[in-house]
Amino acid sequence: MKHQKKCGKKMAITARRMTPYQPIRAIAIFFAFLLFAFLQTHFVFAVDYEVGPNKTYKAISQVPLDSLEPGDVVKIYYRKKAYHEKFIIRRSGTKDKPIIIKGIPLKGKQPVIDGSLACQGQDEHWPQSGRWLIKVGDGNAADYVQIKNLELCNANNSQQYRKKESNANYEDNAAGIFIRLGRNVLIANCVIHSCGNGIQTTYGPDVSYAKISGCLIYDNGNHTNLDSSQEHNVYLCGTHTTVQFCRFGVPHSDGNNIKDRGLDTIIRYNWIEGGKNRQLDLVDHKEYGRADAYVYGNVIIQGREVNNDNMIHWGGDSGNSRSGTLYLFNNTIVGKLKKTRFIVVRYPDCNVEMKNNVFIGTGRLWNGKGSLYGSNNWFSYKIDVPPILNLGKQGNQPGFLPSSNLQYIPALGSPLINRGTNKVPKRVEYMPKPFAGGTRRPKDGRIDIGAFEAIYSHK
**Do 33 and 134 fall within a single domain?**
no
Rounded Cα distance between 267 and 34, Å, is 50
**Do 51 and 31 fall within a single domain?**
no
**Do 62 and 210 fall within a single domain?**
yes
Rounded Cα distance between 459 and 454, Å, is 7
CATH of the domain at 242: 2.160.20.10
How confident is the model over 23-51, as pLDDT tens digits? 676 676 776 777 666 655 555 589 999 99
Last residue of a domain, one of 255, 271, 306: 255
**Do 80 and 172 fall within a single domain?**
yes
pLDDT tier for residue 7 given thresholds of 50, 70 and 90: very low
**In the predicted model, is pLDDT for residue 15 greater than 80?**
no
Q: What percent of the chain has pLDDT over 70?
A: 91
**In the predicted model, is pLDDT for residue 4 greater than 70?**
no
Q: What is the pLDDT of residue 2?
A: 39
Please give the backbone phi and psi of residue 136, each rounded to the nearest 5 degrees, phi first.
Answer: -110, 115
**Do 132 and 25 fall within a single domain?**
no
In a domain, 89, yes or no: yes
Rounded Cα distance between 195 and 192, Å, is 8
Which of 241-255, 296-310, 392-406 has the weakest average pLDDT? 392-406
Q: How many domains does the chain have?
A: 2
Q: What is the pLDDT of residue 238?
A: 97
**Do 18 and 102 fall within a single domain?**
no
Helices (H), 49-169: none
**Do 62 and 33 fall within a single domain?**
no
How confident is the model over 65-86, as pLDDT tens digits? 999 999 999 999 999 999 999 9
Rounded Cα distance between 375 and 352, Å, is 12
**In the predicted model, is pLDDT for residue 12 greater than 90?**
no
In a domain, 343, yes or no: no
Q: What is the pLDDT of residue 6?
A: 38
On the 0-12 / 13-18 / 19+ scale of CB atoms within 10 A, 285 is: buried
Q: What is the pLDDT of residue 16?
A: 43
Three-class secondary structure of residue 262 per DSSP: coil
Last residue of a domain, one of 221, 238, 255: 255
In a domain, 207, yes or no: yes
Beta strands in 322-398 (DSSP E): 325-329, 332-334, 340-345, 351-355, 358-360, 363-366, 371-375, 377-380, 383-384, 392-395
pLDDT tier for residue 346 given thresholds of 50, 70 and 90: very high
For the chain, the average pLDDT equals 92
In a domain, 446, yes or no: no
Q: What is the pLDDT of residue 314?
A: 98
**Do 52 and 174 fall within a single domain?**
yes
Q: What is the pLDDT of residue 36?
A: 66
pLDDT tier for residue 459 given thresholds of 50, 70 and 90: very low
**CA 437, 442, 447, 453 torsion-angle sign:** negative
Q: How far is CA 275 from CA 58, 230, 234, 434, in A?
A: 39, 14, 13, 16
Beta strands in 121-165 (DSSP E): 132-136, 145-148, 151-153, 160-162
In a domain, 131, yes or no: yes
Helices (H), 324-406: none
Rg of the chain taking only CA atoms, in angstroms? 29
Average pLDDT over residues 308-325: 93
How confident is the model over 112-135, as pLDDT tens digits? 999 999 999 899 998 899 999 999
Structural domain boundaries, residue 122:
47-255
Find all residues with CB under 8 Å of 13, minimum gap 6, and list them: none
Query: DSSP string spanning 19-38?
Result: -TTHHHHHHHHHHHHHHHHH
On the 0-12 / 13-18 / 19+ scale of CB atoms within 10 A, 178 is: buried
**Do 155 and 74 fall within a single domain?**
yes
**CA 249, 255, 256, 261 torsion-angle sign:** negative
- Secondary-structure breakdown of the chain: helix, strand, coil percentages, each rounded to the nearest 5: 10, 35, 55
pLDDT tier for residue 395 given thresholds of 50, 70 and 90: very high
How confident is the model over 350-382, as pLDDT tens digits? 999 999 999 999 999 999 999 999 999 999 999
Contact 331, 452 (CB under 8 A): no
CA dihedral 215→337→332→152, nearest 10 degrees, is 0
Q: What is the pLDDT of residue 288?
A: 84
**Do 207 and 122 fall within a single domain?**
yes
Q: What percent of the chain has pLDDT over 90?
A: 82
In a domain, 196, yes or no: yes
**In the predicted model, is pLDDT for residue 11 greater than 90?**
no
**Higher per-residue pLDDT: 166 or 281:** 281
Average pLDDT over residues 263-290: 94
Average pLDDT over residues 252-258: 97
Please give the backbone phi and psi of residue 182, each rounded to the nearest 5 degrees, phi first.
Answer: -175, 145
Q: What is the pLDDT of residue 26?
A: 67
Rounded Cα distance between 457 and 444, Å, is 12
| Whether the predicted model's global pTM rises above the 0.75 cut | yes
**Do 114 and 164 fall within a single domain?**
yes
In a domain, 336, yes or no: no
Tell me the residue length of the chain: 459
Average pLDDT over residues 85-103: 98
Find all residues with CB under 8 Å of 170, minimum gap 6, and list them: 115, 130, 131, 155, 156, 157, 159, 160, 161, 196
Q: In terms of C-beta distances under 8 Å and separation of at least 24 residues, what long-range contacts does 21-27 make, across chains too? A: none
Which of 10-14, 218-222, 277-281 has the weakest average pLDDT? 10-14
Rounded Cα distance between 301 and 334, Å, is 5
**Do 30 and 119 fall within a single domain?**
no
Average pLDDT over residues 406-430: 95
Partners of residue 104 on adjacent β-strands: 77
Last residue of a domain, one of 222, 255, 288: 255
Q: Report which of 162, 168, 88, 161 is spatially closest to residue 123, judged by C-alpha positions.
A: 88
In a domain, 331, yes or no: no
**Higher per-residue pLDDT: 86 or 14:** 86
Q: What is the pLDDT of residue 287?
A: 80
Q: What is the pLDDT of residue 142?
A: 98
